[in-house]
Structure 1
Amino acid sequence: MMMTLRPLAAAFALSLGACAELNPPTLHLLPTAPVHAAATDSAVAREQIALSRIALPDYAEDSAIAYLTGATTVARSVDERWADPLARTATAALAGALTARTGALVLAEPWPPEFDPTLRIDVLVDQFVGALGGPVTLSGEVRVADARMRGLAVVRRFDIAAPSGGDGFDGVARAHADAVARLADEIAAALEARYGG
Structure 2
Amino acid sequence: MRFLMLALAITLTACSSAPEPRIQLAPIAPAAETTDSVVQSIELREISLPYYAQGEEIGIVEADGSVALRTDILWADLPPRALTLRLAQTLAARLPETAVAAEPWPLLSRADLRIEIQVARALGQIDGDYNLDGQYFVIAGNLGEYERAQSFAISQPVEGIGFTAISVAQSAAFDQLADLIVADVAAVTPADIGRR
Runs of at least 4 residues off by over 6 Å? none
Would you say 1:18 and 2:13 are equivalent positions? Answer: yes
TM norm structure 1 = 0.84
Q: 1:24 to 1:105 in 2, by over 3 A?
A: same
Tell me which residue corresponds to 1:86: 79
Distance in 1 (alpha carbons) for counterparts of 2:106 and 2:63:
43
Question: Residues 143-182 of structure 1: CA distance to partner in whole angstroms, max 9, x if unpaired?
Answer: 0111245555211001111121421011111111111111
Secondary structure of 1:43 counterpart: coil
- One-letter amino acid matched to 1:182: Q
Unaligned runs of 5+ in 2: 191-196
Equivalent of residue 162 in structure 2, options 161, 168, 173: 168
Contact 1:24/1:79 (CA < 8 Å) preserved in 2?
Answer: no
Pair 1:72-2:68 in alignment: no
1:31 corresponds to which of 6, 23, 26? 26
* SS of 2:83 mapped into structure 1: helix
Structure 1 unaligned residues grouped into runs of 5+: none
Write the distance in 1 (CA, Å) between the matches of 2:20 and 2:90.
Answer: 29
Name the Cα RMSD after superposition: 2.6
Q: Which residue of 2 aligns with 1:144?
A: 138
Structure-1 residue corresponding to 2:179: 185
Task: Name the TM-score, length of structure 2 as normaliser.
Answer: 0.84
Contact map agreement 1:145 1:152 (CA 8 A) in 2: yes
**What amino acid is aligned across from residue 54 of structure 2 in structure 1?**
E
Alignment of 1:84-163 (within 5 A): 84-103=77-96, 104-112=98-106, 114-148=108-142, 151=145, 153-163=147-157
Structure having the higher helix fraction is 1
What is the Cα deviation at residue 12 of structure 1?
10
What's the counterpart of residue 63 of structure 1? 56
Measure the CA separation in 1 of the matches of 2:133 and 2:3: 53
DSSP-derived class of the 2:60 partner: strand
